[in-house]
Amino acid sequence: MAHVIIVRGAASTGRYGQAMAETETDAVSENRMKRKPRAANAPPAAGSGMRVRSAAKNSDIVYRDLHKAIVTMELTPGAPVLERKLTEQYGVSRTPVREAVLRLVEDGLVEVAPKSGTFVARIPLSVVREALVARRALEEVTVRAATELSSESQIMQMRAIIQHQQEMADAGDEEAFHQADDKFHASIAAAARYPGIWKMIQQVRIQVERYRRLTLPQNGRMPMVVKEHTAVLDAMAARDADAAVARMNEHLDKLQLDISIFRDLWPDYFAIDPSLDEKLFAGK
Amino acid sequence: MAHVIIVRGAASTGRYGQAMAETETDAVSENRMKRKPRAANAPPAAGSGMRVRSAAKNSDIVYRDLHKAIVTMELTPGAPVLERKLTEQYGVSRTPVREAVLRLVEDGLVEVAPKSGTFVARIPLSVVREALVARRALEEVTVRAATELSSESQIMQMRAIIQHQQEMADAGDEEAFHQADDKFHASIAAAARYPGIWKMIQQVRIQVERYRRLTLPQNGRMPMVVKEHTAVLDAMAARDADAAVARMNEHLDKLQLDISIFRDLWPDYFAIDPSLDEKLFAGK
DNA sequence: GAAAATTAACTGGTATACAAGATATATCAG
DNA sequence: CTGATATATCTTGTATACCAGTTAATTTTC
């Protein structure tokens, strides 16, 4: 995972093409001076595919890696994020590293103390509480729409995903189990035709995810999750939206059981939240 | 609005203190070489107030200005965002400007074509549709909690806000009207003690806001909004959560009337969305 | 020894320079 | 005059250098 050197482009900063612009005659250069500066680029056409083939920037790579490391608790809350170290590990300059860090700040996964240091953000308990509420609300509309819109093939695919999740639970592969979990909820969102809302759910899940990484190993919740997923899917297959919503809510409610316990177990991982008013009006 | 020069810090890059490190004796410098490099900074304490006094960076200023300009349709969809021009307007270098632009990309308000240009993002209609659904879901839980938790003084404050909004509607001051509208919904979120969810609502609102800026001048909707707000508040004051939710939903539903009409009126402002699958699985 | 003052080395924020790709304009062929 | 080619100049992405603030280690003072 660590010490991955990015070699896209010229890693060794060779100064080729350094003596080329000097070999021009005055006549030609004068001719070139007559060019008018070109106008600003036109925006891409409206109806066109709006193809933005973004060629995987270095900052994206750093961002994804760090994001994953933080969410999986590989980097624990409070751990320092050293820009210098990252530049060495990835073989890139500070700029893309900095961009990645800034995006993580936007996600609420890291915090920066201006001239002091950057650290993996602690888990604000009130945010976890709210995230659970928000996710419930969003998954509710999603599963309701999916119950109406999902095709039979999509239902079958979900059954396969649940089966796979069962197998991973039996094998005790937590990582694969998580991935299957993610895939199940994603397929619901896909069936509901709510890609944007799924994005929001993911964003919210991230905040809860780190917390869940602590809770899940505790009790043997993995088989229960599979059962709950099955209940949701059964209701969807029966085209009973209300039941599907109810099962989903029951499923999600299982997470918010014992926050205080874990705060006592890993006190350094959680943060006391600032006052509500402050957060509310910090934006403007 | 434009051409605001930021003068925080030294604008004229004076090279003071350029000849200072040279005047040391060898003995002293040798002594200093014996210092061990200090350890990495410690993360801020867990229980402490987590005070991150971020001193309003230049990039924040640029971000806020651009954000506002885009949301208010002062910068129309498809308009180019020239980093060069912004550096001149604000008197700062490209770095903070670039940070601001990247944050706006994260918000979905601008799009960058890698080596070509940066433009104000068009409004993807499907995003608007989803945003309306998501906002409905989130405002629902918010207004429900607010109905239970709001104090009498908070109710009174909301009445004052509505009254103010009425006055602004009468005066025809659209900008102030919008602000009052924002304040009303914000106060509901505050009463519900859901600062995080309010943040999400705001994020979602932004996508709809630009669309709404086009629709609102059309019909005389301002007085109707005030009435709808009053209905919501009345239900809250009566502590009738279900009614409050119903009134809020009615209020929000008024927005999604006629998307197609506006797409035909300003075709260049809207974008055809890529396929759903693409968006869903673009993340991983 | 212990506490206060000093100082050096770290940090993130910013400025600037360079590289590589994309595009509008100029040039040229028919 | 029209269409294809070329090229200058624009753009963003990246690298590097510098500044100011913070902090830990050291030194000084009592």
Q: Which of B152, B242, B249, B244 is nearest to B191 (CA)?
A: B152
Task: Express as a percent the part of chain B with pLDDT over 90.
Answer: 57
CA distances from residue A169 to A166, A193, A256, B257, B267 in whole angstroms, order as listed? 5, 29, 21, 47, 51
Q: Is the pLDDT of residue A12 over 60?
A: no
Q: Give A96's contacts (C-beta < 8 A, 6+ positions apart).
A: A57, A58, A59, A62, A90
Residue A150 lies in a domain: yes
Q: Kindly report, residue by residue over B223-254, the tens digit of the pLDDT.
A: 999 999 999 999 999 999 999 999 999 999 88
Residue B13 lies in a domain: no
Q: Kindly report, residue by residue over A138-180, the tens digit of the pLDDT.
A: 999 999 999 999 999 999 999 999 999 999 999 989 889 989 9
CB contact under 8 A, A280 and B186: yes
Supply the CATH number for residue B207's domain.
1.20.120.530
User: Which of chain A's residues have a Cβ under 8 Å away from the Cβ of B111?
Assistant: 50, 52
**Which residues 188-247 of chain A have a CB under 7 Å from nucleic chain C?**
none
- Same domain, residue pair A145 and A68: no
- Same domain, residue pair A195 and A71: no
User: Which of chain A's residues have a Cβ under 8 Å away from the Cβ of B180?
Assistant: none
- Same domain, residue pair A159 and A219: yes
Cβ-based contacts under 8 A for chains A and B: 161
For B45, the closest chain A residue by CA position comes to A268
Cα separation, A283 vs B227, whole angstroms: 28
- Same domain, residue pair A214 and A158: yes
To test the contact with chain A by mutation, choose from B51, B101, B185, B200 the residue with the greatest count of A C-beta atoms within 10 A, namely: B200
Q: Is the pLDDT of residue A34 over 80?
A: no
B267: part of which helix (H) or strand (E)?
none
On whether the CB atoms of residues B110 and B77 are closer than 8 A, the answer is no
For residue B217, the model assigns a pLDDT of: 65
Supply the CATH number for residue B110's domain.
1.10.10.10
Q: Give B146's contacts (C-beta < 8 A, 6+ positions apart).
A: B188, B189, B191, B192, B236, B244
For residue B11, the model assigns a pLDDT of: 31
- Same domain, residue pair B107 and B135: no
Residue A262 lies in a domain: yes
Q: Kindly report, residue by residue over A186-242, the tens digit of the pLDDT.
A: 999 999 999 999 999 999 999 888 887 877 566 678 899 999 999 999 999 999 999
CA–CA min distance A207, chain B (Å):
11
Task: Give the total number of structural domains in chain B.
Answer: 2
Q: Kindly report, residue by residue over B163-180, the tens digit of the pLDDT.
A: 999 999 999 898 899 899
CA–CA min distance A177, chain B (Å):
16
Q: Is the pLDDT of residue B118 over 70?
A: yes
For residue B39, the model assigns a pLDDT of: 63
From the CA of B102, how many Å to the C1' of D13? 12
Q: Judge if the beta carbon of B115 is closer than 7 A to nucleic acid strand C.
A: yes
For residue A275, the model assigns a pLDDT of: 41
- Same domain, residue pair B220 and B104: no
For residue B233, the model assigns a pLDDT of: 98
- Same domain, residue pair A130 and A244: yes
CB contact under 8 A, B204 and A200: yes
**Which residues 70-99 of chain A have a CB under 7 Å from nucleic chain C?**
81-84, 94-95, 98
CB contact under 8 A, B130 and A197: yes
User: Which of chain A's residues have a Cβ under 8 Å away from the Cβ of B128?
Assistant: none
Residue B6 lies in a domain: no
Q: Is the pLDDT of residue B51 over 60?
A: no
Final residue belonging to a domain, choices B97, B121, B145: B121
Which of B44, B195, B283 shows the shortest C-beta gap to A279?
A: B195
Residue A241 lies in a domain: yes
Residue A222 lies in a domain: yes
Residue B249 lies in a domain: yes
- Same domain, residue pair A68 and A192: no
Its domain, for residue A66, covers 57-121
Task: Express as a percent the part of chain A with pLDDT over 90.
Answer: 57
From the CA of A115, how many Å to the C1' of C3? 27
On whether the CB atoms of residues B221 and B254 are closer than 8 A, the answer is yes
CB contact under 8 A, A276 and B80: no
- Same domain, residue pair A139 and A196: yes
- Same domain, residue pair A90 and A181: no
Long-range pairs, A22-29, Cβ under 8 A, ≥24: none
In this predicted model, which residue has the larger pLDDT, A56 or A66?
A66
Q: Give A232's contacts (C-beta < 8 A, 6+ positions apart).
A: A143, A188, A244, A247, A248, A251
Listed ranges B55-59, B62-66, B260-264, B268-272; the one with the highest mean pLDDT:
B62-66
| Identity at A126, one-letter amino acid code | S
Which of A54, A122, A186 shows the shortest C-beta gap to B280?
A: A186
- Same domain, residue pair A197 and A236: yes
User: Which of chain B's residues have a Cβ under 8 Å away from the Cβ of A274?
Assistant: 49-50
- Same domain, residue pair A108 and A148: no
CA distances from residue B119 to B44, B68, B99 in whole angstroms, order as listed? 39, 15, 15
Residue A38's nearest nucleotide, by CA–C1', is C24
For A57, the closest chain B residue by CA position comes to B114
Residue B207 lies in a domain: yes
For B116, the closest chain A residue by CA position comes to A41
Q: Kindly report, residue by residue over A76-91, the tens digit of the pLDDT.
A: 999 999 999 999 999 9
Final residue belonging to a domain, choices A104, A121, A138: A121
For residue A9, the model assigns a pLDDT of: 36
